[in-house]
Structures are given as C-alpha cells and as structure tokens.
Amino acid sequence: MMRNQPATRRGFGHAGMVFVLSQVLLIGGIAVAAVYALPSSVDPVPSLRNEPRSVTLNYNWPHVITDAQLTFVMTKLRPQLRHERPKINHVDHALRCWGQAASFEDPSCLSGAEMVAMLTDQNAYAAFWGDDAAPLLLRGEFGPGFRTQEGEASASHVDHTLGTLAEIGIPLDHPIILKDQVSPLVVKQLLVAAMLDFRLNQKEYEWTTVAAASYSTGPTQWLSQDGELITFDLLAERLMRQDWVDGVCYGNHRLYALAMLLQFDDQAQLFREVETRQRVLAHLSEATSRLIKSQAAEGYWDENWEDATRPAQEAEAGGPTMRRILATGHALEWWAIAPREVLPPREVIVRGAQWLVVEIEQMEAASVVKNYTFLTHVGRALCLWRGKFPHQLTPLQNPPTGADG
C-alpha cells in the first residue's frame, strides 16, 4: 500500500479512499508546524528496545463475566484455521487475540506459534496458500512490509500485522523470511520501514502508533518520509482530532491506541509535554460520557455510540446485531486497558459484557466465521476484564463449534 496518498503506503497494496479535504488541511497544518520546529539534528529512527512493552491488566471483575461463561465464549472463538488458504486477516486477528503461546487440543486449530510463522515466514505462508499466491511479505522503498488490502491473502489495515506482532510480544530480532531472500531480515526492519514510510495525514495510522510505542525507549521522535518530526505527543493529537466515529471500527481503534499510549507513558514517559497526558485523559473521559448516554437498555452500543440521537448507519458490519457486537466489544476492549479515572460505572461494563455473552452463546458457527475478526476483539476484551490474556485459558477442550474461516 502506498503512503504517497493519504490512505496508503508505497508498494504494499491499495487502500482506495482519499481523506476528506478538511482533514488534509488540518493535519497538513500540524505537519508544517512540525517541520518548521525541527531541531538541527534528528536521527531518522530513534533507538528501539528489542522486547516490546506490554499493557498491564489492572482489573479482574468476576461480575463482568463468570469463569464458565468466559471458557464457553473463548472455546467458541478458538481459531479453527488449519485449512487451505485461511484468510490472513483472520489469522492476524486470531494471533492478536490468542497470542504466540496459545495451544489447542483441537487439531483444526492453529497454535500461536504457527500463526506467527504464517505471518513472518514466506515458506510457512506458502504451505497454506500455495507457491502461486502473491507473497504476504514484500520489499518496499524503505524496507520490508506486509502486502495490504489486496484481498484474502493480505493484511486488512496499514501496519495492523506489525501492531499484532508488537502486542503479542514478538522481539525486534525475530527473523522474517521473504521470497527469494538473500540476506537475513528481522522484525526490526519491518518497524523501521513503517516509521520511515509514515505520513501524518495518512488514513490509517493507529497501528503504526501502537507498534512504535510498543518498542519505544521513551519520549522518542523520528522523521517521516516528508521530513515531519513525529513525536508521541503529535500522534496523540492526531488520534484525537478526527470525529468520534471516524476510522476503522467506528473510531474505537483510535481510543484503544490512546489508552495504550497512557499505559506506556506510565512505563516510559512517552509524552514530552505534561499537557498531552491531560488532554488524552479528558478525551477518553468525554468518550466514556458519550458511551454512558448512548448505551441501550439491553446493554449494547451501536455505530452511533457517540450520539444515540442520530440513526445508526449500516457501515460494514452487516446488520444491526453485528454492528452492535462490533461497537460493544471494541468499547469494552479499550476500557479494559484504560486508567480507572476514565471508566464508566461498573454496571455499564457488566451490562455490555453480558449482552455480548448472550449473543455469542446464540450465534451459529457460520456467523462466527463470517464475523471472526471483530469477535476476536470481544473475546480478548472479556478476558482482559478477568485479568488475563486469552492464551492463559489454553489448551481448550474440543467442542463442535468454532471459527473456521
């Protein structure tokens, strides 16, 4: 995807949509200011830590979901992906949910290690997709990257797969293998290429932010391909400037990235300005206030979570129930890593979680497959609210339903 257009990255696929003029002008103004503020010498890429940071799980609320409910839901969402040509976005999302340590008694499931291999090793990828399939890992202008938004054999979003590797703890020295590779390559080269190929006004930037923050050594900065000085303060402002529901999954990935930045700022002081943290807290608090007001009596949220007085738009989820599962699961996920001061009353979270449990219990296997990507966010969120990552539930038993996509 080419990043010389607002939504894209060079050489890795096609995004197909152009940012609205107001956003280009707004972010362009920020970029110009950043360029004029450049110090005399800035390293193109900052120093990076080999092991990525991990979010701290601060909550274990049994009222949100019982042990029995959690086991049932997660068993239903296990990754039954051991078949020809599993959709890469299913593998990517399954890996982010289950982690590299996951193992399963069900022989139709891929382990975490196998999913890591499929996404980082052309040979493992070809074993499932065939030698004739276009490779997932490509060489780009700034280094290796993932083919993006080119169908079922490619990543679904810019740097989503890189963000997945960061969130599950893959170190920068983990090897990657491209087709016809001559010299050794590692994950660090994926990250460096993404950072050098970054533009502040590109359409999808949430996962680049997540990856860069995960491997950051502190309040680091780097230069984009346009000479912009990129800092985590600037990225936080970028995440907060769009309308609430703009972006992937009704804007929830921006809120998740902000909550993660707060955690990593606690760990390593990512922000250069104290005011940035306060603005992020205020922004997430405002999002919470809107969610409290818009929660349905049944417990769910919808595409119009920021203002329930407007009709919900159909968007991409495929019907009201799936829209609501998408919106509800994503909200519970970012709250699960957010500081207590921005959380809603506990009963708000309990109602949302219990609505999700009932919906997934009633869901047919075909619906699980069709909607697997955002169901992984539901499963991960419910686990986080019990103070654990999904892989800590494995190995799971072998009931007759699951995700086979």
| Contact call for residues 261 and 280 (beta carbons, < 8 A) | yes
Q: What does each of the 405 residues of the chain score in pLDDT, given as a tens digit?
A: 433 333 445 446 543 333 333 444 444 444 444 443 444 467 778 889 999 999 999 999 999 999 999 999 999 999 999 999 999 999 999 999 999 999 999 999 999 999 999 999 999 999 999 999 999 999 999 999 999 999 999 999 999 999 999 999 999 999 999 999 989 999 999 999 999 999 999 999 999 999 999 999 999 899 988 889 999 999 999 999 999 999 999 999 999 999 999 999 999 999 999 999 999 999 999 999 999 999 999 999 999 999 999 999 876 657 899 999 999 999 999 999 999 999 999 999 999 999 999 999 999 999 999 999 999 999 999 999 999 999 999 987 655 444 555
The pLDDT, as a whole number, for residue 280 is 99
How far apart are the C-alpha atoms of 60 and 349, rounded to whole Å? 12
DSSP string, 55-80: -----B-TTTS-HHHHHHHHHHT-B-
| Contact call for residues 198 and 149 (beta carbons, < 8 A) | no
State the pairing for strand pair 229-231/221-223.
Answer: antiparallel
Q: Is the dihedral of CA 289, 293, 298, 304 positive or negative?
A: negative
Q: What number of other Cβ atoms are within 10 A of residue 144's Cβ?
A: 20
**329-367 burial by CB neighbour count: b if 16+ within 10 A, else e?**
bbbbbbbbbbeeebbbeeebbbbbbbbbbebbeebeeeb
How far apart are the C-alpha atoms of 216 and 192, rounded to whole Å? 12
Spatial CA neighbour of 349 closest among 368, 329, 322: 329
- Which helix H or strand E contains 140, and what residues bound it? strand 137-140
State the pairing for strand pair 137-140/143-146.
Answer: antiparallel
pTM for the model stands at 0.90
DSSP string, 182-226: -S-EEHHHHHHHHHHT--TT-S--HHHHHHHHHTB-SS-EEE-TT
The pLDDT, as a whole number, for residue 42 is 73
- Which helix H or strand E contains 144, and what residues bound it? strand 143-146
Domains defined for the chain, CATH in brackets: 21-393 (1.50.10)
